[in-house]
A and B are shown apart, each in its own frame.
Chain A
Amino acid sequence: MAHIQKLLIVEGIDDKYVISRLLQRRKITYQHFEIHDANGVKPSLNTFSIAIKSGNYDVIGIVVDADTDLLERWQDLRNRLIKEGYQHIPQNPNIKGNIITDPEEELPTVGIWLMPNNQNTGMLEDFIRFLVPEGDELLSIAKNKVNDIIKAGQNRFTQSHKSKAIIHTWLAWQERPGTQLGKAITYRFIKSQQYILDDGKASDFINWLQTLFKE
């Protein structure tokens, strides 16, 4: 028995559902594959290190938010990989996602994606916002409203969570108000049966997943 064990570590339940639904939408499945919600950024990074060390996984991917300092997040991951024995890890993240293998074939193949797109600061919610079709009026209204609230000092959320405020506001105004992020990936308009989110802009991410996890 030697099937290839694949693990994708994510920061939270929203990430898990969004990625599951993106794969579902493109009819992609992987064998012996698990999306692990580590429940937090530090736990995700620690789980990444332990999973590599455990020797029980052949392919390990991690999806974490770039947050406010992309390079710092990248360096943290880079240092962890160096500690586990990986070599030739680039100083900067690749915008199409990173995949690192061990030429000695002793360490698992690892992949890193920094939400939203390996180059901007931000988080999962920015990634989702990029999937809203061009010219969507409700998105501009939501953006303006959120900015107004911030200007008036009425926001209870911190500025760093602005993307969350915007996307959840937009979702609150859809046919099914309060649809979760994950469900929104596969939600279709009732009349036209068009998807409300355009997954075209998710192609880089999907391609990274495919390169990492496809047999």
Chain B
Amino acid sequence: MKTINSLYIKNYKLFKELRIDNLAQVNLIIGKNNVGKTSLLEAMMLLSDNQNIVHNLFNILCLRKLSPNANSSTQQYLEILRTFFHNQTNTCNETIFIGANEQQGYSISLSHNNTISRQSTLVIKQADNTVEEILLSDFQQIFNGITNHETHQAFVSTRNEEPEDFLSQIWGKVALSEKEQYLIDGLKIIDDNIEKLVFIDDTAHTKKAIVKLRDTKQPVLLNTMGDGINLMLRTLLTLVHCENGYLFIDEFATGLHWSVQATLWKMIFQLSLKLNIQIFVTTHSLDTLYAFQEIAKHDDTNVAVIKLQKFPKKNKIKAIHFKTEDIMIAVEQNIEVR
């Protein structure tokens, strides 16, 4: 896994141009609603993998619930792809650029004059000048053929819960390995009575997690045990899945008590190091910020807090870096930084 140290993007959604340097192992992105936190996360995901660009574009559309259906026409694909561009109405002259800096990255553009057939195409140009042209009329086939191939990254969003099947698949790979202990240890932080966990098929043939509690004879459905433990399991399994890769979390643990969030942060810091995962998290929550600095101040992990700030007079968005010490002062003095 190559650590993403910096980001430079142009014309991606609301970002005409955005540069962020000094990214860390664990990055917390804050900012007001609609400033582009989710879009930034998407751009990071696009940056993390320059080999499966179409796959990632498709994932982003799914996460936003904008994915094309089986009967979409080429025109509809064109409209959907336009939504990625800064200037959605005039995409003819516009090129999206995703890179670590101006020299290292790839560009995406829409061409309406394909050399072969005058059809609309998506053009991807890499840093080594290799060009890939994909006819929009082929997109239906491409999207239908996309399966969850072996990636070491995950985009977790509260709007989209991972199917239990996916989680149980990850569990299948982890069970009885040394990693199983990380999971149990993590769950024990929230509920000390948990001894073992397995996934079973329930009556509807879907996978469900059950746990053995110390003082109870019958195993218990994890679903019945509260949001904190369930989110902990999802997070732990996802972290394990992302070993040597990247994890993107949109709207971290919204709605959970700050102490539960603190526990999650602890696990995230530990496992980001142990499993070599670079992590990007967005939040608008004060509880999340509070929990983050409570854990970060006693931890060595390399972290960064990045605020996306709009400058309406200049019509631009900038990234402002905060250190853990800065957030500690803000929390102590009750100064609003979000």
Q: Interface on A for B, CB 8 Å cutoff?
A: 36, 38, 43, 46-47, 49-51, 53-56, 104-106
Contacts and interface: CB of A to CB of B under 8 A. Distances in A.
A53 B333 contact: no
B313 A54 contact: no
Interface stretch (B60-68, B125-133, B235-243, B322-330): B322-330
B336 interface: yes
Nearest to B307: A55
A50 B313 contact: no
Interface residues of B, number: 16
Given A53-B320, A54-B336, A106 B314 contact: yes
Counting from the closest, the 5 A-B pairs by CB-CB distance are A54-B337, A55-B309, A47-B333, A46-B329, A56-B336
A52 to B, nearest CB: 10
Given A43-B329, A46-B329, A51 B335 contact: yes
A111 to B, nearest CB: 17
11 contacts: A47-B335, A49-B326, A50-B330, A50-B335, A53-B322, A54-B307, A54-B330, A55-B307, A55-B309, A105-B313, A106-B311
Interface of B: 307, 309, 311, 313-314, 320, 322, 326, 329-330, 332-333, 335-338
Contacts of A104: 314
A54 B329 contact: no
Contacts of A56: 335-338
Contacts of B322: 53
A47 B325 CA distance: 11
Contacts of B313: 105-106
Tell me the dominant secondary structure on chain B's binding face. mixed
A38 B333 contact: yes
Given A38-B333, A55-B320, A50 B311 contact: no
A54 B335 contact: yes
A126 B167 CA distance: 68
Given A50-B329, A54-B330, A55-B309, 18 more contacts: A36-B333, A38-B333, A43-B332, A43-B333, A49-B326, A50-B330, A50-B333, A50-B337, A51-B335, A53-B320, A53-B322, A53-B337, A54-B307, A54-B335, A56-B337, A56-B338, A105-B314, A106-B314
B272 to A, nearest CB: 26
A38 to B, nearest CB: 6
Give the interface centre of A43, A47, A53, A106 by most chain B CB atoms within 10 Å.
A53
B335 to A, nearest CB: 5
Nearest to A36: B333
B337 to A, nearest CB: 4
A41 B335 CA distance: 16
Nearest to B330: A50
Contacts of A43: 329, 332-333
Contacts of B329: 43, 46-47, 50
Contacts of A106: 311, 313-314
A53 B326 contact: yes
A105 B314 CA distance: 9
Give the interface centre of A36, A51, A55 by most chain B CB atoms within 10 Å.
A55
Nearest to A43: B333
Contacts of B320: 53, 55
A50 B307 contact: no
A38 B334 CA distance: 10
Contacts of A55: 307, 309, 320
A46 B322 CA distance: 13
Contacts of B314: 104-106
Contacts of B326: 49-50, 53
Contacts of A49: 326
B255 to A, nearest CB: 24
Contacts of A105: 313-314
B135 to A, nearest CB: 44
A64 to B, nearest CB: 15
A47 to B, nearest CB: 5
A43 B307 CA distance: 22
Contacts of B335: 36, 47, 50-51, 54, 56
Give the interface centre of B330, B335, B336 by most chain A CB atoms within 10 Å.
B335
Contacts of A51: 335
